[in-house]
Copies of this chain bind each other. A is one copy, B any other.
Amino acid sequence: MHLSQTAEYALRAMACIVLKKDNRPVSSKVLARATGIPSHYLSKIMRKMVEAGLVASQKGHGGGFKLAKAPEKITFKMILETVDYRIEPDSCVFGWDECNNEEPCPLHNTWSHLKNSFQWWSENMTLQDVANNPNDAESLLKPDAG
């Protein structure tokens, strides 16, 4: 079970941004180095974050990205859906169009458990939860590192 590479990148980038304690924007370049995400690819992801209203961008010298709303208002689900990572509540591992509690496919019951736990996770985890977990990842964001 995994996220797509892009979805993983999106979570990573947003996690890094929330860890930046001062109010200055993080440039794409710094963010790319801190997260290990290919810089041009990261740019595309960030563009989507801006369009989705999760992040604000600032062009030009000293510019970069910062969160557009409070960390606790940004759920993982919002981030994942922004990069087109569909968490389809009715998707069926068996490939059935109609698959629900009334008309379950052979794998419906067991698969539902797992799907529900992912749903819960993505809807309830926010960037605030990332900020609450102290560790030294912030040091990655030093603009003069590397």
Contacts and interface: CB of A to CB of B under 8 A. Distances in A.
Contacts of A115: 1
B104 A36 contact: no
Interface string A101-145: 001111111100111011001100100011001010100000000
A35 B95 contact: yes
Interface residues of A, number: 38
Contact of A107 (B1, B2, B12, B110): B12
A118 B125 contact: no
B3 A106 contact: no
Quick one: copies of this chain in the complex?
A: 2
Majority-rule SS of A interface residues? helix
A42 to B, nearest CB: 13
B36 A95 contact: yes
Interface of A: 1-3, 8, 11-12, 15-16, 19, 35-36, 76, 87, 91, 93-95, 103-110, 113-115, 117-118, 121-122, 125, 129-130, 133, 135, 137
